[in-house]
Structure 1
Amino acid sequence: MAGNGTAVLEAVHETDRISNPVDHPVVAKKAPRLGLLDALRFAAALLVLLFHYTAWHHGYWGTPEAKDAWPVLSRISVYGNMGVQLFFIISGFVILLSAYGKGAGRFVGSRIGRLYPAYWVAVLATGYLVIVMWPQVGAGLGVKELLANLTMFHPAMELRHIDGVYWTLWVEMRFYLLILVLMVLRLLTIRGITILAATWSVLGLAAHLGGNAQVATDLMSDYAPLFCGGILIFLIYRFGHSILRWSLLVMNVGIAAYFTGLKGPVEAMELVGYDIPAWNYWVIVVGLFTVIALLTLSPLRNIQWKFLALLGSLTYPVYLLHQVWGWWLIDHLNPVLGKYVTLPLVIATVFAAAYLIQRFIERPLAKPLATATTNALSRVGSKIRDLKKSNEPVLGR
């Protein structure tokens, strides 16, 4: 079967090709969309949004900290940053679902078509806000950062994010590049994917425990087990249960819980001011993997209510837009309307803007951009092959 949701975060459902256990390609039938996975992505976006609005340490509610304005809600929303962990697990699943059996050009085209149209709008809109309208928040940001952010590769240029939430896109991008390398090397097979899921997170853990901080960072040790866990759920979903796959999944869940248990309490104290024990994050990570497994490996995967697809399609633009624009709205509306009106109004406004981007930017532009990119890469590939043939020695000369 095949089906898909998004990037860190995405929803591209296409007919694809799969391989049997010895990796001979056969044509796969298009499978139903995983509706509840879309709903889960929507919930993850809402969790992150509430974390940034009601728990993150900002003073836009007219109090020293957001938690002072929301003393009860913040006790729950402090866990909202775990929505990012959820995004990465889902990404490990859906990106393999989207990429497996496809050519590299088609994969690159689908990612560019899916990621960039909404992203360009968000970068330009947020850039205008922090550079022109609200420069005290965007101090030090200028046209150079704005243009670099449009590429999504600005962290490689050591330039700042126009919006802090873009850090997750760079994590996702490096995961995509890893998958692309495997495709180019013809290693995106059942065996190759299994080896990746068995070694990537272990190498990251070894680098971390060995004190090799730079190597651990390069291997994305904090996030590798989340992606690998999603990959293993994909393998079980597509090719069936096995002791090896479930054992590797349990191992990655354990490594993910370990890293989240290290990072979660530190962020809760530094970003919110709450002292939260590590075991809370261990339970959350296990719960996230359990929910994704249930929604993809049980009969729940057959639920396909149409409105769930709409919720899933809003997730990415909501994530891109919500943080700085939301803070700006809170800062301006709260003194007039009060927090109990401002919070739902800001949330509704962000989702309305996300719908407009999805309807009038993503929907008309994503497929043409993906097709144009795929065709361009195909032409380049053909020219390279022709060049190689022209340079081959002719038999008998």
Structure 2
Amino acid sequence: MLTMPGRTNPPALTPAEALGASTTEVGRPRLAGLDGLRFLAAMAVLAYHYFAVNHEAWGERTTDSFPNLQPVLAYGSFGVQLFFVISGFVILLSAWGRDVRAFTASRVGRLFPAYWLSIALVLVLLLAVAPGSKDVGLSDTAANLTMVQRAFGVHDLEPVYWTLWAELRFYVLIGVLLALGMTRNRLIAFAAVWPVVASIAVRSGNETLATVLVGSDAPLFAGGMILYLLLRERRSVVLWLVLGLNVALAGLMSGRSQSLRIEGSTTLSVEPQSYWLAILACFALVVAVTLTPLSRLSWKWLTVAGALTYPLYLLHSSWGQWLITKLHPHLPTAMTFAVVTAVMLLAAYLAHRFVERPLGPRLKRAVARDLGRLGALVRGEWRVGRQAAGRQVAAAHAPEPEPSTSR
């Protein structure tokens, strides 16, 4: 039985023992099926960007090049929604049992090395390989290095970066939960209330609140969190009801917003029943690999594929389209796609092997160390302040000394 995060008592079993799955270095379970889903989502988004988004990398607009393929592969954009459901599950899994410092260090070490590499590579493309294809300035680049450029109204150097802004806001909310104390009941209440308030903020036009609460995508993250809790309590009526609430809100809000993105990038019209089915499929796939016997999958290649997902997602867009423009005049469409995809997978492997693996742990340790020092400094100053205030109070209440008499 999976150990559920309790209120105060430590679990009797580790999550890995409960799941019977392989573990990460910190002893958390590694669900190979989720790695496979992440890779599937990345490949779906890759196909969407290559064959559905309107560009002229194939020699003419995608609508004209692939009139029959575009309407099908346009649904690959819902790979992003699948990412978000998986993220809700995985981030709660990785956050449980950690404090804010450890969680923050873990996320920084995981996200930034490959992200900074992708910025460097897109700058090489835009400034050296294909200059003039897109305007890029020093201020834009500096803002993008922070990953929060959208908070300052700065455009993304790569179109895929918008999803990282959603992820970061979700991480901040998880950090707040950790600071307050992450318990089962608080998680359930949060996963039920947060998406409702976020949806109301979107529908009412409160952009500030909608931005803070991750807007239309909040139900996807919250639904993933509930799926993690269902590992422990699969018969909990409350959890299933909260999951149903988030699925409904995800279809209503995130499904619609994603359909508008598809229409804006492809000119295709996505009917409500289509995006509802896409959202249902995202949740159903995660349920299949976490709450059914498929959770026992332990194929090593799935874990390898999962490791390539993040760098593949970051690197595939601009460089992939540029490669298509160079290869397609000389190769058939299918072979062009195969070669470009193979190059992107190789680039993802090299990024993982020579950037993420060596630099990620070092960055994580450095952030954890510096946050620890900062916390110790703040606590020390707070203690000094309290002691000084105590001395002042004591002095104020001390009896006046007797005047001395001079003889």
Do they fold alike, i.e. is TM over 0.5? yes
**Residue 241 of structure 2 is aligned to residue 272 of structure 1:** no
Q: Which residues in structure 2 correspond to 1:193-212 (within 5 Å)?
A: 193-212=187-206
Q: Would you say 1:85 and 2:84 are equivalent positions? A: no
Paired position in structure 2 for 1:6: none
**Amino acid aligned to 1:24:** N
Secondary structure of 1:274's counterpart equals coil
Q: Indicate conservation of the 8 Å contact 1:18/1:25, yes or no.
A: no
Matched, 1:225 2:219: yes
State whether structure 2 residue 63 is matched by structure 1 residue 67: yes
Report if the CA contact (8 A) 1:18-1:27 is conserved: no
- Partners of 2:233 and 2:369 lie apart in 1 by 31
Question: CA distance change for structure 1 residues 347 and 257 in 2, over 3 Å: closer, same or farther?
Answer: same
The residue type equivalent to 2:339 in the other structure is L
- Cα deviations by residue, 1:255-292 (Å, 9 ceiling, x for unpaired): 10112442344333332132331101111111211110
What amino acid does structure 2 have at the position aligned with 1:193?
Answer: L
Q: Is the alpha carbon distance of 1:215 and 1:308 closer, same or farther for their aligned partners in structure 2, counting shifts above 3 Å? A: same
Deviations 1:63-101 (A, max 9, x none): 1x2132223332321101000000011111100100012
Which of 168, 171, 188 is the equivalent residue of 1:173? 168
Contact 2:170 2:214 in 1 (8 A): no
Amino acid paired to 2:215: S
CA drift of 1:145 comes to 1.5
Report the residue type matching 1:256 in the other structure. Answer: A
Number of equivalences:
379
Aligned-pair identity in percent equals 39
Specify the alignment match of 2:177 in structure 1.
182
Secondary structure of the 1:223 match is helix
Structure 1 residues 161 and 210, CA, compared in 2 at 3 Å: closer, same or farther?
closer
Change (3 A) 1:142 1:209: closer
Question: Helix, strand or coil: the match of 1:222?
Answer: helix
Give the distance between the partners of 1:243 and 1:30, measured in 2 at CA: 22
Whether the aligned pair in 1 keeps the contact of 2:140 and 2:155 (CA below 8 Å) is yes
Match of residue 107, structure 2, among 108, 111, 114? 111
CA distance in 2, matches of 1:61, 1:367: 40
Cα offset for 1:213?
Answer: 4.8
Partners of 2:13 and 2:370 in 1: how far apart? 26
Q: CA RMSD in A?
A: 2.1
**Structure 2: distance between partners of 1:340 and 1:68:** 17
Q: Give matches, 1:365-384, under 5 Å.
A: 365-384=359-378
Residue 347 of structure 1 is matched in structure 2 by 341
Alignment gaps of 5+ in structure 2:
22-29, 396-407
Match of 2:352 among 351, 358, 362: 358
Report SS of the residue matched to 1:233.
Answer: helix
Counterpart in 2 of 1:149? 144
1:106–1:374 contact (8 Å) kept in structure 2: yes
Which one of 40, 43, 46 corresponds to residue 46 of structure 1?
A: 43
Q: Of 247, 257, 265, which aligns to 1:263?
A: 257
The match for 1:162 among 148, 157, 160 is 157
Q: Residue type matched to 2:289 in 1?
A: L
Q: Distance in 2 between matches of 1:275 and 1:181?
A: 39
Pairwise mapping of residues 3-82 of structure 1 onto structure 2 (< 5 A)? 19-20=5-6, 22-26=7-11, 29=14, 31=16, 32=21, 33-63=30-60, 65-82=61-78
Amino acid of the structure 2 residue aligned with 1:366 = G
Task: Decide whether aligned partners of structure 1 residues 95 and 206 sit closer, same or farther in structure 2, where only a CA change above 3 A counts.
Answer: same
Q: Distance in 2 between matches of 1:57 and 1:27?
A: 54
- Structure 1: distance between partners of 2:271 and 2:350: 41
**Matched letter for residue 74 of structure 2:** V
Output the amino acid matched with 1:304. S
Deviating above 4 A after TM superposition, structure 1's stretches of 4 or more consecutive aligned residues are: 394-397
Q: 1:154 to 1:344 in 2, by over 3 A?
A: same
Q: CA deviation at 1:38?
A: 0.3
Q: Is the 8 A contact 1:49 1:322 kept in 2?
A: yes
Q: Is the 8 A contact 1:261 1:279 kept in 2?
A: no
Q: Greater shift after overlay, 371-380 or 50-59?
A: 371-380
Task: Give the CA deviation at 1:45.
Answer: 0.1
Deviates further, 216-225 or 307-316: 216-225
Letter in 2 for 1:257: G
Alpha-carbon distance in structure 1 between the residues aligned to 2:373 and 2:205 = 46
Corresponding position of 1:332? 326
- C-alpha distance 35-159 of structure 1, shift in aligned 2 (>3 A): same
**Could you tell me which residue of structure 1 aligns to residue 24 of structure 2?**
none
Q: Is the 8 A contact 1:18 1:100 kept in 2?
A: no
Q: Conserved in 1, the CA contact under 8 Å of 2:99 and 2:178?
A: yes
CA distance in 2, matches of 1:245, 1:211: 30
Structure 1 gaps, min length 5:
3-16
Bigger shift: residues 39-48 or 330-339 = 330-339
Supply the AA of the counterpart residue of 2:294: L
Equivalent AA in structure 2 for residue 355 of structure 1: Y
Deviation at 1:28, TM superposition (A): 5.1
